[in-house]
Amino acid sequence: MLLEKKNVVLAVSGGIAAFKAASVASMLRKRGASVKCIMTEHATQFITPLTLREISGNPVAVSMFGDIPEFQVEHIALANWADVFVIAPATANVLGKIAGGIADDMLTTAVMATKAPVLLAPAMNSNMYLNPIVQDNMKKLTAYGYELIEPDKGHLACGINGIGRLPEPEDIVDYIELAACRSDVLKGKRVIVTAGGTREPLDPVRFIGNRSSGRMGFAVAKAAAMAGAEVILVAGTTDHLKTPKGDVHRIDVESTKNMKEAVDSYYDSCDLVIKAAAVADYRAVHPAENKIKKSDETLAIDMTKNPDILYGLGQRKKHQILIGFAAETTHVLEYGAAKLKKKNLDMLVANDVSAEGAGFQGSTNIATFLYPDGSMEKLEKMGKDELAGLIIERAAGLLARRK
């Protein structure tokens, strides 16, 4: 879990969206983070400190001068403890106070004292949000290095539809994960990641596809974004996965031909390609224009070979680092090594998709990294996020050596 051993201060100010802080705290803990909450006095009108104490598993700081069991100078202790400091929701009042240098309660003094990345998630009525004073305050705060999580558009508690909704807790936690795990090992690099499966139509209703959920590829795209890269995520069919946060440009494709066009159009300008997608090797020669009707006992469809996208990239390789995957069910290392060589790759991630806890759909994988000099790294079963982090680490090493 990426947030394991990470300390998150979740600060809550007084708006109706304060109730969502409970879900944010809960999700943070499920993803492995330690969470300590700060609330403004106004926030305690919307959600009780007891709720956040029970969910976070830690005392909640509200008052500057109350009985404090754990800390000497509590706002400083919290400020130092944080790996990430997030204010969700951040009201117009709190944004204004921070922008104006006012530190008159636990939240504003702690945020003033922290050296951790600070994420601000504004949530308020649309007119308040669009008010030039609030907009100026946000500009000022981003210029100082505070990071804004843009509010969503939608139905607001005041009864109108507009901008100002606190994003869903999962999105807020994704932003926190990005801030907590960020590095710059791929800063300035453009990375193409392919993910998911391709679909080849048989008629307007049916297609040939595969079991890829996109999880492995999306984890790689997330890890690359966390490493500071500009990511071109070419996504085939997935289990409705959300685009990872960060500098990620997503291109949705369906067939192998569409995927090839998207990858080829960015190839010359990229530094690294990681092809985690499960690509259909064959397509129907003549997909039917209308739905194929049930008639005979058997049905034969002529299939023709699809272009091998990765092979093509290997042929045209100049400065790029190419990393492929191999999904095998037998002779995993032998077939993987053959693909590494044939496709002119710098590294190959071989996975036995028939093994328990590996391959398609689940949240874990078991992989072996293969290299052109015949060396290999056999890895234990691990989360796809963790494996993606290792792939990006190795990719950064390969890029550094290529210079």
The residues annotated as belonging to the active site are 158
Asked whether 286 and 269 are in contact (CB, 8 A), the reply is no
Which residue from 310, 321, 332, 388 is in contact with ligand PMT, where contact means CB under 6 A? 310
Residue 221 C-beta: closest distance to ligand PMT, Å: 12
Q: Which of 347, 203, 353 is nearest to 278 (CA)?
A: 353
Which residue from 212, 237, 255, 320 is in contact with ligand PMT, where contact means CB under 6 A? 212
Looking at the Cβ atoms of 106 and 349, the one nearer to ligand PMT is: 349
Work out whether 324 is an interface residue with ligand PMT (CB under 6 A).
yes
Work out whether 275 is an interface residue with ligand PMT (CB under 6 A).
yes
Which residue from 27, 35, 327, 366 is in contact with ligand PMT, where contact means CB under 6 A? 327
Full DSSP string of 76-100? HHHHHH-SEEEEEEE-HHHHHHHHT
Work out whether 213 is an interface residue with ligand PMT (CB under 6 A).
yes
Work out whether 353 is an interface residue with ligand PMT (CB under 6 A).
yes
- Please list, in sequence order, all residues whose beta carbon lies within 8 angstroms of the beta carbon of residue 347, skipping any fewer than 6 positions away: 321, 322, 323, 324, 340, 369, 370, 371, 394, 395, 398
Supply 327's token pair.
Answer: 């999904």
Span of 3-11, 38-46, 293-301, 323-331 interacting with ligand PMT by CB under 6 A: 323-331
Looking at the Cβ atoms of 229 and 309, the one nearer to ligand PMT is: 309
Work out whether 283 is an interface residue with ligand PMT (CB under 6 A).
no
Which residue from 281, 287, 292, 393 is in contact with ligand PMT, where contact means CB under 6 A? 281
- Please list, in sequence order, all residues whose beta carbon lies within 8 angstroms of the beta carbon of residue 40, skipping any fewer than 6 positions away: 12, 13, 14, 62, 94, 105, 106, 107
Work out whether 256 is an interface residue with ligand PMT (CB under 6 A).
yes
- DSSP collapsed to 3 states, 21-64: HHHHHHHHHHCCCEEEEEECCCHHHCCCHHHHHHHHCCCCECCC
Looking at the Cβ atoms of 81 and 335, the one nearer to ligand PMT is: 335
Asked whether 277 and 248 are in contact (CB, 8 A), the reply is no
Residue count, binding to ligand PMT (CB under 6 A)? 28
Looking at the Cβ atoms of 179 and 350, the one nearer to ligand PMT is: 350
Q: Which of 151, 161, 48 is nearest to 95 (CA)?
A: 151
Asked whether 195 and 277 are in contact (CB, 8 A), the reply is yes
C-alpha 209 chain-centroid distance: 25
Work out whether 339 is an interface residue with ligand PMT (CB under 6 A).
yes
Full DSSP string of 319-370? S-EEEEEEEESSSHHHHHHHHHHHTT-SEEEEEETTSTT-SSSSSEE-EEEE
Helix (H, G, I), strand (E, B) or coil at 312: helix
Work out whether 351 is an interface residue with ligand PMT (CB under 6 A).
yes
Work out whether 237 is an interface residue with ligand PMT (CB under 6 A).
no
Work out whether 244 is an interface residue with ligand PMT (CB under 6 A).
no
Looking at the Cβ atoms of 83 and 200, the one nearer to ligand PMT is: 200
Residue 192 C-beta: closest distance to ligand PMT, Å: 11
Work out whether 278 is an interface residue with ligand PMT (CB under 6 A).
yes
Which residue from 308, 371, 376, 390 is in contact with ligand PMT, where contact means CB under 6 A? 308
Residue 310 C-beta: closest distance to ligand PMT, Å: 3
For the beta carbon of residue 58, count every other beta carbon within 10 angstroms. Answer: 15
Interface residues with ligand PMT (CB under 6 A) are 194, 212-217, 256, 275-279, 281, 306, 308-310, 324-327, 339, 351, 353, 359-361
